[in-house]
Structure 1
Amino acid sequence: MFRLLRPLGRSVTYTRWLHLFIGCVIFGIWQFVSSDTNWVPFLFVALAGLLPWTRIAEGTQARLLLAPDGSVPIATQPSATWADRGRTSLWMLLRLGLGLGTAYLSMHLVMVSVDLVRVAAGGHADPEALLTPPGRHWWYALLAPLPWLVLAVGVVLLGRLITALAVVLLGPSAQERLAALEARTEQLLERTRLARELHDSIGHALTVAVVQAGAARAAGSPEFTERALDAIEETGRAALEDLDRVLQVLREPERAPGGSPGLDAADRLLDSARASGAKVDAELTGPLERLPGAVSREGYRILQECLTNVLRHAGTPSTAAVRVRVTATDRRLTLDVANPLDAPAVDRTTGSGTGLRGVRERVALLGGTARTGPDGDEWRVRVELPLR
């Protein structure tokens, strides 16, 4: 019994009741104009449903009153196709019909309850009531709560019915669901890209800081310590700029600052690696400043990850020899980074490291190729990115 009455304690039951009443307001207004042409309100709402913007008003009202918790998928966009307009028009007709039924039951069941009490007290029943109690019996008063119970059950069932119809008739169409899925996919891809950038940028800065601090302690030279602190400061400042940019994108995408650095700023990475003690032999050729934005940015991050891996896994920084070749032509960009395999590499032989996986993901998004692994006595990363 209590389970059946539980919906009566929920506010959504009464907001749905209100929604059903609002649906038949136009019918009540028309009764003051003409009571002989009751078909006019139905024609009016059917035609109104064909207007694209009607779906916005009906969807918004249904969301607020039928499912205020957002648990029901109801669209609030204008009708984009005639199928959407037809569904909205049918919704308007059904809403008007169910609203009239709800108003009729609400009014007459209350009248029946009042009549039962009136007749039990010796009065007369209303002849226009839905049911007229025969005779006059005192025990009719005991039946007075029954119409209210029927009304409560009817309100709950009609509310669930109108909500189910809203899902079918006002729910997102296949095109809208596809558009929402694409938008969600784009959002996830953007977050993944930002996560990769944070990994590369912050990981590079921390690696440089750790390597520089260890080398300065081992060297015991004030001059070397001064250079190490300068390198840590410069790298940390660049990482903070990247972090601020990424956080700005997450907070306010429409007001986000410019993109991440490109390969035309590769000297900053090379100088940072050299300041960490690595012997970097770099060869940068081609019009790097004229590379497409996406290729230049991803190429910068790939080079950054390669140098970070070298500093992280090549043992003593002063013994790390790195050969970097970046070649840009009219058709492709080639990055070739190699260093001797003279120290154990934690995750290189398996190729399962997060950094190398990020490199492959970046390359795959741009339709390029990436080869990573031992090549003779060197560990080599060779990436080719198409420019067209």
Structure 2
Amino acid sequence: MATVLRPLLRGRTYTRLLHLWVPALPFSVWIFIHPPTPWMPALVLVPLGLIPAVRTGEGIQARLMLMPGEAEPGISEEPSATWRDRLRTALWLAVRVALSGVTTVVTVWLPLLAYSLGELAAGGSPGGVPVLEDARPHWAYALLVPVPLVVLYAVVVGLGALVTAVARRLLGPSPAERLAALEARTEQLLERTRIARELHDSIGHALTVAVVQAGAARTAGDPAFTERALDAIEETGRAALEDLERVLGVLREPRRPVSSRPTLGDADRLLESARASGATVDAEVTGPLETVPGPVSREGYRILQEALTNALRHAGGVPVRVRVRVADGTLLLDVRNPLPEEVPGPGRGSGLRGIRERAALLGGRAHTGPDGGDWRVRVDLPVD
């Protein structure tokens, strides 16, 4: 019983009823203006449905009144872009008006029938209901009073579910809109993945430098070295905070363009940070870095950052050889460092996976793993 009566406690039952009542208003007004032609407003349904903006208005009404609170109601709020959408909107208006007429009749006559049955049970007259014109007062009519009300309840709930199903069918997104929504969703997921990689690379690098510097300063016991270590931690932390603020700004304002992301032109900052952490960095940069496209240069910076971070985290203050070369339409990033005592597997860690993902997205190749006694990260990215 509780399940059957649950729709009475749901707000959408009453918003759907209101949605069904609304189209009856112009017909009711027209009856007072010209009673002999109550059907006249129906003539404008097809021309009205062919107006592109009408689909937007109907979609907003359906979403708010038929499916309130649903995250993905499956209703389009875009104007009609094709003739198929226009015809679907016109058909929707016709169906909505027809269901509105049924709802109006039911919600008027069934309560009146219940009232007339109550009048007969109390010894009064039937009150103008045609089916009860010849009925005589009798107390037994009281047993029939709930019947019209139960039927009213079932019809209202059923018509609400029916108009909602029709709305999903006729006002739902077209194939082109579904494709656009899928593309937007894909872009959103890719952006979230990119932001996760950005945070991992930037914050992970800063924390690694801070940990290595703090440990080296404690071991060295040299005030001058400690001063340099604190300077390196401060500089790296400040850069990480700038990256964090930029990423959080993108999350707060999704439509704001991404700007000020570091490129390979800022690689000196990474190399100096690694040197300040105690590593001996032998860097060689050849070729015109300024000709590398922005996306490739930005991703190349992150790949180099992750490679240096791995070297500091797993090998400590060891010699690191960095080669950055632009030649023959390819950007080469090659980072080597001596293998530590415990060699990590070539596929372990989200950082290495991120390097391979970045390379694959740009149409390049990445190799990460042991190579001749060294740990090597080699990435080839096309720049054409």
TM-score range, shorter chain: over 0.9
Matches within 5 A, 1:187-202: 187-202=188-203
1:143, distance to aligned residue in structure 2 (A): 2.0
- Is 1:344 aligned with 2:345? no
1:242, distance to aligned residue in structure 2 (A): 0.5
Name the residue aligned to 1:66. Answer: 66
Distance 1:264 1:141, change over 3 A: same
Q: Which moved more, 1:64-73 or 1:75-84?
A: 64-73
2:371 to 366, 375, 387: 375
1:353, distance to aligned residue in structure 2 (A): 1.7
- Is 1:18 aligned with 2:23? no
Output the CA distance in 1 between the equivalents of 2:3 and 2:185: 39
Name the residue aligned to 2:80. Answer: 79
Asked whether the 8 Å contact 1:108–1:129 carries over to 2, the reply is no
1:346, distance to aligned residue in structure 2 (A): 4.7
Asked whether the 8 Å contact 2:126–2:132 carries over to 1, the reply is no
Asked whether the 8 Å contact 1:112–1:129 carries over to 2, the reply is no
Output the CA distance in 1 between the equivalents of 2:334 and 2:111: 84
Q: Identity percentage over the alignment? A: 61
Output the CA distance in 1 between the equivalents of 2:34 and 2:343: 86
Asked whether the 8 Å contact 1:278–1:322 carries over to 2, the reply is yes
Q: Match of 1:324, SS? A: strand
1:127, distance to aligned residue in structure 2 (A): 4.3
User: 1:23-73, CA deviations, whole angstroms, 9 ceiling, x for partnerless residues?
Assistant: 221221222233333443222122211111111111111111111121632
Name the residue aligned to 1:224. Answer: 225
State the aligned residue count.
383
**C-alpha RMSD of matched pairs (Å):** 1.8
Asked whether the 8 Å contact 1:208–1:311 carries over to 2, the reply is yes
Q: Match of 2:70, SS? A: coil
Name the residue aligned to 1:326. Answer: 324
Output the CA distance in 1 between the equivalents of 2:159 and 2:133: 25
User: 1:351-383, CA deviations, whole angstroms, 9 ceiling, x for partnerless residues?
Assistant: 222111110000011001112222212221111
- Is 1:385 aligned with 2:381? yes
Asked whether the 8 Å contact 2:346–2:370 carries over to 1, the reply is no
| TM-score normalized by the length of structure 1 | 0.94
Name the residue aligned to 2:168. Answer: 167
| TM-score normalized by the length of structure 2 | 0.94
Output the CA distance in 2 between the equivalents of 1:232 and 1:264: 21
Output the CA distance in 2 between the equivalents of 1:188 and 1:123: 69
Distance 1:225 1:133, change over 3 A: farther
Name the residue aligned to 1:112. Answer: 113
1:123, distance to aligned residue in structure 2 (A): 3.7
Output the CA distance in 1 between the equivalents of 2:46 and 2:151: 31
Q: Match of 1:80, SS? A: coil
Distance 1:247 1:98, change over 3 A: same
Matches within 5 A, 1:26-45: 26-45=26-45
1:122, distance to aligned residue in structure 2 (A): 4.0
Output the CA distance in 2 between the equivalents of 1:326 and 1:350: 22
Asked whether the 8 Å contact 1:340–1:377 carries over to 2, the reply is yes
Q: Which moved more, 1:261-270 or 1:147-156?
A: 147-156
Equivalent AA in structure 1 for residue 84 of structure 2: A
1:130, distance to aligned residue in structure 2 (A): 5.5
Output the CA distance in 2 between the equivalents of 1:54 and 1:345: 67
1:340, distance to aligned residue in structure 2 (A): 2.0
Equivalent AA in structure 1 for residue 364 of structure 2: G
Matches within 5 A, 1:99-178: 99-127=100-128, 129=130, 131-132=132-133, 134-178=135-179
Q: Which moved more, 1:331-340 or 1:142-151?
A: 142-151
1:357 to 353, 358, 379: 353
Q: Which moved more, 1:331-340 or 1:255-264?
A: 255-264
User: 1:88-135, CA deviations, whole angstroms, 9 ceiling, x for partnerless residues?
Assistant: 111110110111111111111122222223333444334454654523
Q: Match of 1:53, SS? A: helix
User: 1:225-266, CA deviations, whole angstroms, 9 ceiling, x for partnerless residues?
Assistant: 111111111111111111111000100133456231100111
